[in-house]
Amino acid sequence: MISLNNKRCIVTGAGSGIGRAVALDLAWRGASLALSDIDEAGLAETRNLIGGGGDRHRHDRLDVSDRDAVARYAASLSNAWGPANFLFNIAGLSRIGAFAETPLASFDKVMDVNFYGTVAMCRAFLPQLRETRGTIVNISSIFGLIGFPGQAHYCASKFAVRGFSETLAMELAPEGVCVTCVHPGAVATNIVRAAELDALPGGVKSREKFNKKFDKAARTSPERAARVIVNGAAKGKRRIVVGADGHVVSILQRLFPRSYAWLPPRLIGWR
């Protein structure tokens, strides 16, 4: 396992959830951190939780869907710090709504952040990571392994991250750059409560019931997820599955790739 002490680590989505937990885990391991989020208040809270760090830690507002801003951010960090060793692409969002009732603009918003934001960050930091023979960590989901009712846009974005990451891993391996794709199961964060609602999926009577079902299913803490992610990245793993539910989904999808449709509603107790 690679030591992360003094390694320059870039973490997007660091203002809450898994991103914040990864930032705290990396700080505990002695990494130098460049943390970003579009949520400045959340990012400030993460900064307070970490404390200290001086010039070794940076905190910047960043919208990963703004490609020009991402390019400027990468150049700024390179000039101030030197090349990055680890890039953790964690920024993401979710929406809720069956496809037939979801505006195409909602698909654009989810894809712009979850997929194209990841692509933009990889492109912007790739020269640095080639120089350091570093590691890219992209967050997909168990919904990058299976479909899920009411999450067509989210699933599409996470399947895309998976395909992109697995291809990038093949292309960059000869250059010594590792690409890790992470598939978390249900993690106890606010991503579902913060998700914008286009329409309730079939079988769900209210938004509150939807939230409660997710909360009940989310048995993995952000801290536990972060440990698994950072340990896996330090070991150079190409695929990381987080949570018991994630491992169950991964196995069942491989065993029943055409007939797993009975599984998703049962994951959060719809049936």
What is the number of other CB atoms lying within 10 angstroms of the CB of residue 112?
18
Burial of 2 (0-12, 13-18, 19+ CB in 10 A): middle
Q: Which CATH superfamily is domain 8-267 in?
A: NAD(P)-binding Rossmann-like Domain (3.40.50.720)
* Lowest-confidence segment of 146-155, 185-194, 246-255 by average pLDDT: 185-194
Q: What is the mean pLDDT of residues 144-153?
A: 88
Q: What is the DSSP letter of 195?
A: S
Q: What is the pLDDT of residues 213-256, one digit of tens each?
A: 665 665 788 899 999 999 999 999 999 999 888 888 888 888 87
In this structure, are residues 186 and 216 in contact, taking their beta carbons and an 8 Å threshold? no
Q: Kindly list the distances between the CA atom of residue 112 and the CA atoms of 73, 91, 119, 181, in Å, as whole numbers in the listed order.
A: 17, 11, 10, 18
Q: What is the structure's pLDDT at 271?
A: 45
Place of tokens 């209210």: 206
pLDDT value at 270 more than 50? no
- Quick one: tokens of 107? 């698909």
Residue 59 β-bridge partners: 35
Distance CA 23, CA 205 (A): 37
* Predicted pLDDT of residue 216: 63
- What is the C-alpha to C-alpha distance for residues 135 and 105, in angstroms, rounded to an integer? 33
Residue 127 in 3-state DSSP?
Answer: helix
Q: List, for residues 8-52, the tens digit of each pLDDT value.
A: 999 999 999 999 999 999 999 999 999 999 999 999 999 999 986
Q: Where are the domains of the chain?
A: 8-267
Catalytic machinery residues = 154
Q: Which residues contact 250 (CB under 8 A, 6 or more apart)?
A: 142, 145, 183, 241
Total-model pTM:
0.90
What pLDDT, on the 0 to 100 scale, is given for residue 237? 95
